[in-house]
């Protein structure tokens, strides 16, 4: 294994901007998942300047096929003409008003048409807002305080206290949140028994990287209701990627409340809480207000995004290309006997490595990101297809991955050169 801190001229402007950012930004990026050290620093772009469809260009003028899709927020492809036109039309009329705008009703009506749990809707700006609002609604509705959580639910105190990145959050908040193990109904039932009469809700991703066990989601719903709690589905990531009805429609289980963001606006900042009339009407006094909650540009973008999805095979396209990449990746890993897998569901994938001799899993993953970036592809901890990608894009990425795997399989460790730093694991 060889490692070098040498920075290629290919990313020189990105690296200059990173140094400049340290004088003004804490941290260097406002979004934690875009931190430069999460990628092979020195051998991977840091700052992007433009995008079109499924491709992006960095500040050094390098162009890539972008399989990160803005952390899953881009579903139709960047600069989709129908979305852009809708936003442009609204911009001419204004984007924020002193009173409410009728587009709120238009979007809510569309959401209610497609999302099984959406008898009532609250419009917000991002996923953390939605999950925080849903937790507050659950506590108000049930009169209880503990939330059982499955996976990641945003950066706000109520949830983030349960992570190791909890500096600045009152430790006492840990008493009101209990993470549970996805897939085990027995362990979830144990939490209810240990905290009898205190649990307000189960908040969970419908699915993360693995299929839920048979009947698991229905069992979770029944268990929550049996103990006077409600079920909240966090669909910030799965929403609209799994289908117009979200993962709840895909799996046929309707929660009491659900949260959406990301793909809803195709890159414009918008989120929502959707819930049953029974729960939402009973908690109408719960405050989730925001000055920019009725930003009409984002509302226009969301309406336009749904319009495209209603008439074009967006979801089918994303599933098809995601499966092509996943199957192709795993076949190559098997062919070259590399301990690596592309896991997850077609609309939302993740690459995992095991160690290989002296080469750590972090090194191998960093090497993959470095080498595919050289070939003009951006992949990361998560891979999201969008409607702007083509089958050729996937074929070309698989050719790049094949070269990486061949190097790992055939070269001696000292000849596998890491030009940038090994990427850190945030979680």
Please classify residue 180 by burial: count the beta carbons closer than 10 Å to its beta carbon, then call 0-12 exposed, 13-18 middle and 19+ buried: buried
Q: How confident is the prediction along the chain (427 residues), in pLDDT tens digits per residue?
A: 444 444 468 999 999 999 999 889 877 678 888 999 999 999 999 999 999 999 999 999 999 999 999 999 999 999 999 999 999 999 999 999 999 999 999 999 999 999 999 999 999 999 999 999 999 999 999 999 999 999 999 999 999 999 998 999 999 999 999 999 999 999 999 999 999 999 999 999 999 999 999 999 999 999 999 999 999 999 999 999 999 999 999 999 999 999 999 999 999 999 999 999 999 999 999 999 999 999 999 999 999 999 999 999 999 999 999 999 999 999 999 999 999 999 999 999 999 999 999 999 999 999 999 999 999 999 987 999 999 999 999 999 999 999 999 999 999 999 999 999 999 987 6
- pLDDT score, position 8: 65
- pLDDT score, position 1: 43
Q: Is 178 helix (H, G, I), strand (E, B) or coil?
A: strand
- pLDDT score, position 5: 44
d(CA 384, CA 66): 9
Given the DSSP bridges, would you call strands 271-275 and 257-260 parallel, antiparallel or unpaired?
antiparallel
CA distances from 306 to 101, 107, 270 (A): 19, 9, 13
- pLDDT score, position 425: 83
- pLDDT tens digits along 32-46: 889 999 999 999 999
Structural domains in the chain, CATH included, are 2-77+314-418 (3.90.1150.10), 96-294 (3.40.640.10)
Which three-class secondary structure string do you get for 228-288?
CCEEEEECCCCCCCCCCCHHHHHHCCCCCEEEECHHHHCCCCCEEEEECHHHHHHCCCCCC
Are the C-beta atoms of residues 201 and 229 closer than 8 Å to each other? yes
> Residues with Cβ < 8 Å from 56, sequence gap 6 or more?
48, 50, 63, 64, 66, 78, 378
- pLDDT score, position 427: 63
- pLDDT tens digits along 242-291: 999 999 999 999 999 999 999 999 999 999 999 999 999 999 999 999 99
Dihedrals phi, psi of 285, to nearest 5 degrees = -80, -10
Please classify residue 142 by burial: count the beta carbons closer than 10 Å to its beta carbon, then call 0-12 exposed, 13-18 middle and 19+ buried: buried
């Amino acid at each position: 294994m060889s490692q070098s801190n040498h920075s290629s001229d290919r990313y020189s402007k990105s690296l200059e901007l990173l140094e400049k950012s340290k004088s003004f930004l804490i941290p260097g990026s406002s979004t934690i998942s875009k931190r430069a050290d999460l990628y092979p620093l020195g051998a991977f772009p840091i700052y992007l300047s433009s995008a079109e469809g499924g491709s992006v260009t960095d500040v050094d003028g390098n162009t890539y096929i972008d399989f990160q899709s803005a952390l899953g927020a881009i579903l139709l492809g960047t600069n989709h003409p129908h979305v852009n036109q809708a936003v442009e039309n609204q911009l001419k009329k204004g984007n924020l008003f002193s009173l409410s705008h009728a587009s709120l009703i238009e979007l809510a009506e569309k959401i209610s048409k497609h999302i099984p749990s959406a008898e009532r809707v609250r419009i917000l700006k991002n996923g953390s807002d939605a999950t925080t609002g849903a937790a507050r609604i659950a506590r108000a509705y049930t009169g209880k305080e503990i939330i059982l959580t499955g996976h990641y639910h945003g950066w706000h105190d109520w949830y983030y206290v349960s992570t190791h990145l909890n500096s600045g959050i009152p430790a006492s908040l840990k008493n009101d949140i209990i993470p549970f193990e996805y897939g085990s109904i027995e362990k979830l039932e144990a939490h209810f028994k240990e905290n009898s009469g205190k649990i307000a809700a189960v908040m969970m991703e419908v699915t993360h990287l693995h299929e839920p066990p048979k009947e698991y989601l229905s069992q979770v719903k029944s268990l929550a209701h049996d103990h006077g709690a409600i079920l909240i589905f966090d669909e910030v990531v799965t929403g609209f990627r799994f289908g117009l009805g979200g993962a709840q429609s895909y799996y046929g289980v309707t929660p009491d409340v659900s949260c959406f963001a990301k793909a809803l606006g195709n890159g414009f900042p918008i989120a929502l809480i959707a819930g049953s009339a029974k729960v939402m009407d009973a908690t109408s006094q719960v405050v989730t207000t925001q000055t920019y909650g009725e930003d009409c540009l984002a509302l226009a973008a969301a309406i336009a995004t749904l319009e495209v999805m209603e008439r074009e095979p967006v979801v089918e396209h994303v599933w098809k290309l995601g499966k092509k990449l996943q199957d192709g990746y795993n076949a190559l890993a098997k062919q070259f006997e590399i301990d690596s897998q592309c896991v997850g569901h077609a609309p939302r994938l993740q690459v995992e490595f095991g160690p290989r001799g002296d080469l750590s899993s972090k090194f191998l993953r960093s090497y993959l990101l470095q080498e595919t970036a050289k070939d003009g592809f951006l992949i990361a901890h998560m891979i999201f297809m969008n409607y702007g990608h083509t089958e050729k894009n996937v074929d070309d990425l698989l050719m790049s991955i094949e070269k990486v795997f061949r190097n790992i399989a055939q070269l001696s460790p000292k000849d596998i050169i890491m030009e940038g730093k090994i990427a850190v694991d945030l979680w």
